[in-house]
Amino acid sequence: MLGEFQRTFLATVLQPGSTTHEQPGMRVYANNVHGQLLAALCDTYEKTRRWLGEEAFQQHAASYIARHRSTSWTLDDYGDAFADHLSTACAHTPEVGELAWLDLRLRRAFSGSDAAGVRLEALDVEDWERVEFVFVPTLSVRLLHTNAPALWAGLAAGTVPRAQMALPGSGVRVWRHGWEPRFQSIGHEEYACLDLALAGASFGEMCTWLASAVGPDRVAATAGSLLHAWTNDGLVVAIREPR
């Protein structure tokens, strides 16, 4: 009896309207849970909500909540798959999913693990060819198909540009510098090099790829520029020189 009651109660709370008519008063609990999950999504995806509009956002949120339970002790962790949900639901407007990803990664960067970046001049390197980078744990990168970073910045400033397709191969990186979550639009070369480095590629392997992308004559300048940008922005925590 107790187990059956618990299953009924859980189903009612997580899916408002399913069995509420059988249990008077259950709707209160169901509405409270739904309202809390909706509030968590509204908070995390604030710019996406403004871009979609209240009615559309509420509809997508309700669809997501009906399929995704909270599995964490804190509502701050709820909604990690909502950006993917929107990417699928709004496939005809791809900026929605990318804007939602940016909202999510900035929120997760804010609450991510602390790590202090190192300056380039503090790196003591004997063999740059073999060096591997250790990045701050809050770093995320994504290949883009739209101008989602410009949309996010416009929504924050109150002057929103139109949604447009991004340059082929461009991307964005998100991280936390000190206490401040940040994002930066990046070109094809930086996205590809970060993608390689995050996968464990050495600086030498990164330069080999750059040679094929920008030509041998530009490798040193391009790699040096990226290295300065990463260390100046506090992305690099340490370097590894495999034995």
What are the phi and psi torsion angles at 181 (to 5°)? -65, 135
Q: What is the pLDDT of residue 232?
A: 94
Q: How much is the pTM?
A: 0.84
Question: Hey, where are the domains in the chain?
Answer: 2-92, 120-240
Report how far residue 122's alpha carbon sits from residue 10's, in angstroms, rounded to the nearest whole number.
Answer: 55
Residue 98 Cα distances to 63, 87, 139, 144, 163, angstroms:
19, 7, 16, 7, 11
Q: What is the pLDDT of residue 141?
A: 97
Q: With 60 as the cut, is the pLDDT of residue 208 above it?
A: yes
Instruction: Please state which of the ranges 17-26, 115-124, 142-151 shows the lowest mean pLDDT.
Output: 17-26
State pLDDT tens for residues 138-150: 999 999 999 999 9
Residue with tokens 């993917």: 84
